[in-house]
Structure 1
Amino acid sequence: MKIAVLKEAADEPRVAAIPETVKKLTALGVRVAVERGAGARASIDDCEYEAAGASLGDRTEVLKDAGIILSVQGPAPSTLKDAARGAILIGALDPTRRRDDIDAYSKAGLQALAMEWAPRITRAQSMDILSSQSNLAGYKAVVDAAAAYGRAFPMMMTAAGTVSAAKLFVMGVGVAGLQAIATGRRLGAQVSATDVRSATREQIQSLGAKPVFVDSVAGIEGEGSGGYAGEMSPEYQAAQAELVSGHIAKQDIVITTALIPGRPAPRLISDAQVATMRAGSVIVDLAAEAGGNVEGVEPGKTVVRHGVTLIGAVQLARSLAADSSALFARNLYNFIAAFWDKEGAALALPDDDEIVTAIRLTNDGKVVSERLKS
């Protein structure tokens, strides 16, 4: 078995394998071929891959006879003309927004596996690329906010007077939100957080932050499936908007992270609420690519509205390419190792396995994912 590791497109600095995972893959009895320059933007030299046991080549050489192809973002189908039919393509394939590419993978006879669709179950935790990348994004969101904020984060007592601590509010307490809370606390901010899932209250408190929840409305529908937030009742939405309006006006930094799979990001902050914040405040919207949690945010841009800086964060993990590559590569290795057939020296993907069923998009020249059929 040969595994190919591809160099990503110009806008993607991450890489799908690092020397550490190359060593582990070769220990499984496979050959690993890495496209030249694949790790350059993640601070990995080609010689490091060679030292780990990989061979180097151009894309044609790397793809020749490869049974498994590893990538971060799904490569353009036109660049896979040398891939063998039946090869397994593994990466973050963005199936709903890149449906034409998925169809092209199918026509090329590739078995495409979208790792971002792995179910949030215990057995799949070590393979969860969304969690590993969101963790870094939550950290970077606070760092970027600190860079844009014109004041210090921690309280400082000096001979010239006291500098008050910044007030940081996190909306959405998933993986990214929890890391944002932890990072804000490390930097010395006064941190508060909210979520529609009541179970997150204890998580917020465990990190030393103040939970901000609507307690006066019954029948909250925020507990979604698979660990994600779901839709809220109209009564809860109204109560939350009132609570947030009063709280957000007192905050210096706001980080929003709310996403609902398969739907536009929920609107959490209106333009009128932005206007209540004091000049110099900063909002970082981690859901900007999905439509944004904040009215007026622009994906990939920083704009100022009512004196408040709005950062439309896009793929923040990319800005930490070395660390995000390491985590992503380990996620892929953990998946391969979990389904590796030692006797057959191949990847065995049972049709009745819930992880396989969730991530498999194409097989035998057909689109087989139920999510893409609906």
Structure 2
Amino acid sequence: MPSQADLRDADVRREWQNIDIFILLPRLNWVFIIENKFQSNQHEGQLAKYADRVRSIFEPHEGALKVRGIFLTLYEEPPQDENFVPIHYSAICEILPSLLEQHGETIRSDVGLFVRHYVEIIREATGMSSERIEIEGLARQLYRSHRKVLDFIMEYGATTDFVLAVESAFGENLDYGDDFVIDDRTFMFSGHNNYQASFLPRRWVESLGPDLKWEGCETWWARYPLICWLELREDGDSSSGRLMLFAEVGPLRDYELRKDLIERIDEASKADGTRLVGFQKGSTQQGKKYSRFFKNNGVHISDTQNIEELEKAINTLMRRFDPVFEVLAPSVSDFKKFVVTQSA
């Protein structure tokens, strides 16, 4: 489309047919789509679907349409449709200030102020904010001057309310392989960070065999083909969130062995009648590496900084899945003959 084209008849719509910005130029039979991805990625076939939807609505009346688009992204992600061109948000930080400078006399003051605030938000998200760059420089200077003290604080003093709740429920100063007990059931501690805590029921570990090497899982979580973990997910715009309990079959290199493990877990849960276990469709497909299988596995947290509420939620989830921990243990006990020992 020529840059000098008359755009006075342009029909501009926002969030129309799930399209972020839709521009129709009826006299030119031209449609322009802007798909905005700020903190998310495109869905499979999403861009092509938008183009097909526009053609199905307008082409019967208007004739063949030229559909073109911009894929506006915060990440280095190419568009899946060749009719879209990618533009990174960092380019917006250069384009908008230039337009403000060129057309400042004709732009209303409130509009200009809004655009300037918007540009500053984008600069912050893309790491181009001058204030953020200055703060990062000061932080590096501070670290160089007080490196030993800051390293000590990060290793021994940095914590969160989630970590304190985990230590209250599991026990303090746990290392990989240590046992902890909840309601008479023993678990093997794997590790934790500021929002996750991983472990395995001790019976699962005994069934899998502590002296076995699970090829493909050497660097995955606890180095076993199974893992359980608690994860705190905070809501973006409030202090609330959800505490989740996950279990997953990991990246076993032997496809048949991995498939067999998933089928055994699935059969054991169905035989017991529990409704807390279920794999997604395609979990046994070749090439699949990670397959979660806990259901109804979340608890609402009204205040993610409330240690007592977090600890209560941890105990709630651990007790809810206690029957699952027990019933699945025998389903993984026959795998020792398929793997090699650590000393092999």
Question: TM-score normalized by structure 1?
Answer: 0.22
Alignment TM-score, normalising by the size of structure 2: 0.23
Query: Which structure has more strand as a fraction of its residues?
Result: 2
